[in-house]
Structures are given as C-alpha cells and as structure tokens.
C-alpha cells in the first residue's frame, strides 16, 4: 500500500477529473504503462471498499501518478472521491495488472481502441511506445460529443509532432462530424488495410464485447489483442 496526497485536480470534461497523486514520502511509483492502482475508501465495508483506476500518466519514474476518473452519480465510490480536494490523503495499492505494453509488441503497428475514460491506460502506453520508436500507432477514441474527448489538445498536437501517430476521434452524437458513429467501423477499416497488428481495447462492457466479436470474426487471436474491461 502507498500513502499519497492529491496534489492537483483538473476538470477534464463535465464528468471527468484528472487527479494527480504524489507519494507522501517522495518515493518513486514504478509502473508499466497500462497498469492500474486500487484506491481504498476509508469507511466503506472491506468487501466493497476498493475501486481500480488505470494510471494515465504521461511519464513513468516519478513520485507522482495521474488518474483520469469519471463521476458515476449512482455509484458509492466516485461521489466520495469527487468531494476530495487538493491536500486530501488517500491510501492506494501498488500498481498492478497484466494489460501492459511489452517491448515485443513494438515490432507491429499498435491499435488502441477505447471509449471515455478507457483512454487512461492508453495515454501512458502511447507516449511510451512513441518514445521507444514504435511503428505506426492508431488511437480510435469513441465518445458522444466533442466536449467528451479527453486530452483532445494533447492528441491533436501529438499528431502534428509525430507522423507515426494517428488520432481518429469517433463521435456518436455529432452527426455533422466526419467520423460520426461508433468505433467499430473505423478500426475495422484500418485493420483491413494493415493486417498484422497488436490491438488494445479498453472501456465498458458493451464496447469490449462487440469489439472482441468483430476481431475474432476478422481472424485475430488472443496473442494479437488485449482487453481491459471497466465493469
């Protein structure tokens, strides 16, 4: 377990905040891009007092990590978390999880498919992959509206800085937008063009289930695609 303090909070969208957590003793938080931590609620019963959050930090090897969290008004955990402020102390687990970017994947184009806060682990993974000289990196990011697209400016400027990075926002409730609809059509088209790839999928149950079916139908297998489901 680690004792951390909230050292910054950014309102990233109407329902999503970015929380910067710093270790109280200044120790470095070692993690592999893609991993998550569990936050402990101080007063909920033990069987229900933790929730998992992917590390969304741009950089590894620091005493700080960033989490990107959506408020669920009907939940028991996020309403409490969203009442915390800069200076609040939290108990969190060490980073964990196997949904990670491995160096051997860098021999292939990388496809990242997500909706909403499913972007969190991909922020760490994409920056790491590009810094290690990966092949082409595609981010297919589904949301309802323009204002829901988390880290929008970062993706736009990364695309200008690095010709290997391709940002494909897909919006289901902006009918005038060039990529309107759902993510499936967009990654399917890219995969048809490039063939062999390593594919990461992150987000809520329905999107993950549909994507898994489509990837299987297209002939991809579990050595080529990896899932992190949020519920």
Instruction: Kindly state whether residue 161 participates in binding ligand FAD, applying the rule CB under 6 A.
Output: no
- Token pair listed for 117: 């806060």
Element at 180 (helix H, strand E): none
For the sheet containing 137-143, what is the strand order?
165-171, 137-143, 110-115, 198-203, 225-229
Cα torsion 31, 152, 171, 18: sign: positive
The Cα–Cα gap between 94 and 71 comes to 23
Nearest distance, CB of residue 14 and ligand FAD, angstroms: 13
How many C-beta neighbours within 10 Å does residue 35 have?
22
Instruction: Kindly state whether residue 148 participates in binding ligand FAD, applying the rule CB under 6 A.
Output: no
Instruction: Kindly state whether residue 72 participates in binding ligand FAD, applying the rule CB under 6 A.
Output: yes
Nearest distance, CB of residue 65 and ligand FAD, angstroms: 11
Q: Which is nearer to ligand FAD, 41 or 135 (CB)?
A: 41
Q: Using the rule CB under 6 A, give the single segment among 1-9, 75-83, 87-95, 155-163 that binds ligand FAD.
A: 75-83
Instruction: Kindly state whether residue 228 participates in binding ligand FAD, applying the rule CB under 6 A.
Output: yes
Q: Which is nearer to ligand FAD, 66 or 190 (CB)?
A: 66
Considering CB under 6 A, how many residues would be counted as binding ligand FAD?
Answer: 19
The Cα–Cα gap between 215 and 1 comes to 37
The Cα–Cα gap between 171 and 150 comes to 12
Q: Which is nearer to ligand FAD, 109 or 148 (CB)?
A: 148
Instruction: Kindly state whether residue 117 participates in binding ligand FAD, applying the rule CB under 6 A.
Output: yes
How many C-beta neighbours within 10 Å does residue 207 have?
22
Q: Using the rule CB under 6 A, give the single segment among 19-27, 69-77, 139-147, 151-159 that binds ligand FAD.
A: 69-77
How many C-beta neighbours within 10 Å does residue 96 have?
12
Instruction: Please report where in the chains the tokens 């809520």 appear, as a residue.
Output: 204
Per CB under 6 A, contacts with ligand FAD among 9-68 are 36, 51-54, 68
Q: CA angle, 48 as apex, 47 and 50 as ends, to 5°?
A: 110
Q: Which is nearer to ligand FAD, 52 or 173 (CB)?
A: 52
Question: If we measure between CA atoms, which residue out of 187, 176, 1 comes closest to residue 109?
Answer: 187
Instruction: Kindly state whether residue 74 participates in binding ligand FAD, applying the rule CB under 6 A.
Output: yes
Instruction: Kindly state whether residue 78 participates in binding ligand FAD, applying the rule CB under 6 A.
Output: yes
Nearest distance, CB of residue 117 and ligand FAD, angstroms: 4
Binding positions for ligand FAD, rule: CB under 6 A = 36, 51-54, 68-70, 72, 74-78, 117, 120, 228, 230-231
């Amino acid at each position: 377990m680690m004792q951390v303090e909230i050292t910054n909070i950014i309102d990233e969208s109407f329902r999503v905040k970015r929380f910067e957590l710093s270790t109280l003793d200044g120790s470095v938080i070692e993690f592999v891009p893609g991993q998550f931590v569990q936050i402990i609620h101080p007063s909920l019963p033990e069987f229900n007092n933790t929730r998992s959050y992917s590390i969304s930090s741009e950089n590894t090897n620091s005493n700080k990590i960033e989490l990107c969290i959506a408020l669920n008004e009907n939940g028991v955990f996020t309403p409490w978390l969203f009442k915390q402020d800069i200076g609040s102390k939290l108990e969190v687990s060490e980073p964990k999880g196997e949904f990670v970017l491995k160096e051997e994947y860098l021999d292939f184009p990388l496809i990242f498919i997500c909706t909403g806060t499913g972007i969190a682990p991909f922020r760490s993974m994409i920056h790491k992959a590009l810094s290690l000289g990966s092949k082409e990196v595609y981010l297919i990011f589904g949301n309802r509206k323009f204002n829901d697209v988390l880290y929008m400016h970062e993706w736009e400027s990364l695309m200008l800085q690095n010709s290997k990075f391709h940002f494909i926002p897909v919006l289901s409730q902006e009918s005038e937008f060039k990529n309107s609809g759902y993510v499936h059509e967009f990654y399917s088209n890219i995969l048809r063009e490039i063939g062999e790839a390593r594919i990461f999928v992150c987000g809520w149950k329905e999107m993950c289930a549909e994507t898994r079916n489509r990837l299987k139908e297209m002939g991809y297998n579990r050595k080529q695609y990896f899932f992190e489901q949020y519920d």
